[in-house]
Structure formats: C-alpha cells, structure tokens
C-alpha cells in the first residue's frame, strides 16, 4: 500500500492521498502482523491445557466479570470480538456442557442474557492462569509501562462498537 513509484497517469490527483507514507506503512504492517500473530500465540497454550479456543475463553471470562455473572449476548459478542451468530453457536455448546444458561433479559425481552453457572465459572477460573501467562509473555512483559499506556490509548481509539463511527480526529 505504499505509494507506487510510477502511478498511472490516468489516476486522479486525489488518488495519491490514498497511498501510505513510509511511516504509515510501517505502522499498518506492524499492526496487521500483531493482529494475525497474537491470536495463535494466545490460543495455542490455552487450547492445549483446557481445550478452549481463545474466543471461548474470552466469552466465558467476560461473563464471569459481569455483575451477577450475567451479560447480554449482544454486549458479549462485542466484548469477545465475534459476531452474534458465532457467539450463539458457542453459547449453545456451553449450555450443553452446563456452563451457561440463556434467558430473556428481564429489563428488555428483546435481548437475551447469558448467565455463567458455577460449573462455567470453575472452567474459566481453571483456564485463567494459562491465559494470563500467555498475555504476560507475548503482550505485557515485552512492553515497559509507558508502552502499555500507549497501547491502551491506541486500542481505545481504534476500537468502536457497532453503530458507532470511528473517530476521524488525529488529536489526542
């Protein structure tokens, strides 16, 4: 995506604004490399020790951290970075294992709430040390505190909820 050395003469001059500068290209390729590399590094030990995928662990973990261990499915899909249909399939398997129960949201019946059972809580508690070790090894330990804070700021700027538009400002 770096600017080609000989752009087509027929291209509109405004098209040149689409090409990345060298610094932008380095930022982008670094980010995409992490996005593709980290899930496998985080999932492999988790799956070997617990049989859970990273997505499954994140779903259980987010429910376990919610008040009363209950969370709307739509919120859980956002937090676990998955589609509602993918999450529904995973939660259906959790229900079959006795880890999660689903019910209509008592505040708004249009929503479904996933509630973690005691058995599900035991699963996430047993898996947490493996996950945390991987997070420390591959993400946190290589970064000094200032870089961790920068990562927090960057992630908050790049992540948006469905229906929200990403910020267009480059300011802090």
- 37-62 pLDDT, tens digit each: 999 999 999 999 999 999 999 999 99
Phi, psi of 2 (to 5 degrees): -70, 155
- Is the confidence at residue 68, as pLDDT, over 90? yes
Q: How far apart are CA 25 and CA 46, in angstroms?
A: 32
Q: How far is CA 9 from the centre of its chain?
A: 41
Q: How far apart are CA 12 and CA 29, in angstroms?
A: 26
Q: Give the mean pLDDT of 79-83.
A: 89
In this prediction the pTM is 0.79
pLDDT at 18: 87
- From 133, 111, 109, select the one nearest 46 (Cα to Cα): 133
pLDDT tens string 110-159 = 999 999 999 999 999 999 999 999 999 999 999 999 999 999 999 888 87
pLDDT at 13: 54
pLDDT at 168: 41
């Amino acid at each position: 995506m770096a600017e080609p050395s000989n752009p087509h003469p027929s291209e509109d001059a405004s098209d040149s604004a689409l090409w990345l500068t060298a610094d932008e290209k380095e930022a982008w390729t670094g980010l995409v490399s992490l996005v593709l590399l980290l899930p496998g590094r985080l999932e492999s030990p988790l799956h070997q020790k617990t049989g859970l995928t990273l997505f499954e662990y994140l779903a259980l973990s987010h429910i376990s951290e919610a008040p009363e261990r209950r969370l709307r499915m739509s919120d859980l899909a956002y937090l676990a970075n998955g589609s509602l249909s993918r999450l529904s399939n995973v939660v259906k398997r959790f229900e079959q294992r006795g880890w999660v129960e689903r019910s209509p949201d008592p505040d708004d019946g249009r929503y479904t709430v996933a509630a973690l059972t005691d058995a599900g809580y035991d699963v996430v508690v047993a898996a947490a040390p493996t996950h945390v070790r991987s997070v420390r090894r591959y993400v946190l330990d290589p970064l000094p505190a200032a870089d961790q804070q920068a990562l927090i700021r960057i992630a908050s700027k790049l992540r948006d909820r469905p229906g929200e538009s990403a910020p267009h400002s480059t300011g802090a």
